[in-house]
Amino acid sequence: MATPTARPQGTGRMTGAQCGIVGLCLLVAVMDGLDAQLIAYAAPAIVKEFGFGPAAFGVVFSASLLGMALGSVLFGMLADRYGRKRSMIAAITLFAVATLLIPLAATNIPSFLALRFVAGLGLGGVTPSLIALIAENTPQRVRSMAIMVAVGSLSLGAFFGGLLAAWMIPAHGWRSIFVLGGVVPVLLVVAMAAGLRSRADVRDPAAGTSPATSSAQLLRDGRAPGTIVLWIVFFTNLLLLFSLLNWLPTLFLSAGLTAKAALTGSSVFALGGFTGGLVMGALIDRTGRSHAVLVIGYALGIAGIGIVTTATDNVPLLMAGIVLAGVGVAGGQTGISALAASLYPPSIRGAGIGWAYGVGRVGSIVGPAVSGFLVASGLGATSIIGLAVVPAAIAGTGVATLAVLGRRRTSHSGLEEFAPRLGAGPSGP
């Protein structure tokens, strides 16, 4: 078989510089996840201080999500043209500055909206470069695990942000968390710039590809079917993930659970996702069968959703179902992120990841809105949760379709795009 153009270097041991860069990327992911949720944690205090209506302030949340969708695409393309380091540093700087300006300049809905939109551009723009940089600086035997830990670290950042907000807002006011959320990323920018400076053992490809060209390449040379299917997988998975994250507590309360059980269920869902991502990453790296592992994960998620809809009167069984749903949906998101990193050659990898996340984040906007409509229409909680099987099945089918497309592409071209072995398997180094 011809040497795969999409496979990054690094099947041996990582250098110290590469370990340092991956560590910095994980810290950036934690900070990205923390900053993304700051506005939600501060919203009650902001609404109270300025007298905003909750519905009016809701547009600020939407602006942030829209910015993240556009930022993923924009900075993903810039990563291919100018390199991962420059793109990621620019994105971090953008959301850091916008975050620092919020306590200084935001006094009305338009100013909060504008600053959170700009911050969203940077927050969304970090992800493509971060995933590509990790993929290109880790050996195959741990690559999937490293990427999935990085994506899972976004949720970890949101978790830490909640703990910090619970302590800082009562003690120092809501502005304090935005100061923290702006200063720490600036320090990470300095560390990232120093860590990547003139290191030949740190891979940071800059193909010089124009944004228009790199985007067009995603649909050329036989890549179009796989790219479109990947977008569908990201759209449906993020639609489902954000629907469940936003509405699970409300739906559980509607189904008759206590407030404590409803909140516990939401935490268990997130825990299942993080744990599931680690387990799937380890299995992919060991077996190299990325598609099979992900399809099994979605099957477990569908089974978990089925249990949740029928076990509302049995809390232990309900929690077990929620864990499985978290493994399939939240864990699946980390898995498809690793899959996306392996589908394209380095010259267009940033654009490939960026477009996948950009399309997916449209789903993260649509999903909660559709769920809210279903709740308002009076549809029962268990019926709404049961409908989650549909996007989960579409995402799982999409991953299986990518495997089929990959086998066909490999047999015709000798290339491994769309048929990646994310791990080196048992015989790998």
One-character DSSP codes across 55-73:
HHHHHHHHHHHHHHHHHHH
Q: Which of 130-144, 165-179, 194-208 has the lowest mean pLDDT?
A: 194-208
Same fold, 14-208 and 209-429: yes
What per-residue confidence (pLDDT) applies to 74?
93
When pLDDT is cut at 50, 70 and 90, the band that residue 420 belongs to is very low
Q: Is 4 exposed, middle or buried (0-12, 13-18, 19+ CB in 10 A)?
A: middle
What per-residue confidence (pLDDT) applies to 418?
42
DSSP for residue 4: P
CA distance 91 to 109: 24
What per-residue confidence (pLDDT) applies to 208?
59
**CA end-to-end distance (rounded Å), the chain:** 19
Tokens found for residue 424? 């080196």
The single residue listed with the structure tokens 């629907």 is: 243
CA distance 388 to 407: 30
Q: Which of 130-139, 208-217, 302-311, 317-326 has the lowest mean pLDDT?
A: 208-217
Mean pLDDT to the nearest integer, 318-328: 90
What per-residue confidence (pLDDT) applies to 411?
47
pLDDT in tens, 374-416: 888 888 878 888 899 999 999 999 999 998 887 765 544 433 4
What per-residue confidence (pLDDT) applies to 166?
85
pLDDT at 428 over 80: no
pLDDT at 120 over 70: yes
Provide the CATH number for the domain formed by 14-208 in this structure.
Answer: 1.20.1250.20
Q: Break the chain into its structural domains and give their ranges.
A: 14-208, 209-429
Residues making up the chain, counted from first to last? 429
When pLDDT is cut at 50, 70 and 90, the band that residue 1 belongs to is very low
- Contact between 6 and 127 under an 8 Å Cβ cutoff? The reply is no
- C-alpha angle 277/301/385, rounded to 5°? 125
What per-residue confidence (pLDDT) applies to 290?
86
Tokens found for residue 253? 């309360």
What per-residue confidence (pLDDT) applies to 379?
83
Mean pLDDT to the nearest integer, 154-171: 84
pLDDT in tens, 18-74: 788 888 888 999 998 888 888 888 888 898 898 887 667 778 888 888 999 999 999
Give DSSP secondary structure letters for 127-143.
HHHHHHHHHTTS-HHHH
Tokens found for residue 405? 């497309």
Q: Which of 42-56, 193-207, 344-358 has the lowest mean pLDDT?
A: 193-207
- Contact between 375 and 321 under an 8 Å Cβ cutoff? The reply is no
Q: Is 30 exposed, middle or buried (0-12, 13-18, 19+ CB in 10 A)?
A: buried
262: left (phi over 0), alpha (psi -120 to 50) or beta: alpha
380 or 304, higher pLDDT: 304
**Hey, what long-range contacts does 14-20 have (CB within 8 A, 24 or more apart)?**
14/137, 14/138, 14/139, 15/201, 15/202, 17/195, 17/199, 17/201, 17/202, 18/137, 18/138, 18/201, 18/202, 20/195
CA distance 253 to 263: 9
Mean pLDDT of the chain: 83
417 or 12, higher pLDDT: 12
Mean pLDDT to the nearest integer, 422-428: 38
Nearest residue to 84 via CA among 242, 168, 205: 205
- Contact between 177 and 37 under an 8 Å Cβ cutoff? The reply is no
CA distance 109 to 39: 13
- Percent of all residues in the chain with a pLDDT value above 90, rounded to a whole number: 31
pLDDT at 3 over 60: no
- Contact between 149 and 278 under an 8 Å Cβ cutoff? The reply is yes
What per-residue confidence (pLDDT) applies to 352?
92
Tokens found for residue 408? 């066909």
Please give the radius of gyration of the chain, using alpha carbons only, rounded to the nearest integer. Answer: 21
When pLDDT is cut at 50, 70 and 90, the band that residue 207 belongs to is low
Mean pLDDT to the nearest integer, 228-237: 96
CA distance 213 to 226: 18
What per-residue confidence (pLDDT) applies to 377?
84
What per-residue confidence (pLDDT) applies to 304?
93
- pTM of the predicted model as reported, rounded to 2 decimal places: 0.81
What per-residue confidence (pLDDT) applies to 252?
77
- Contact between 123 and 71 under an 8 Å Cβ cutoff? The reply is yes
| Residues in CB range of 362: below 8 A, 6 or more apart | 69, 235
- Contact between 356 and 230 under an 8 Å Cβ cutoff? The reply is yes
Superfamily of domain 209-429: MFS general substrate transporter like domains (1.20.1250.20)
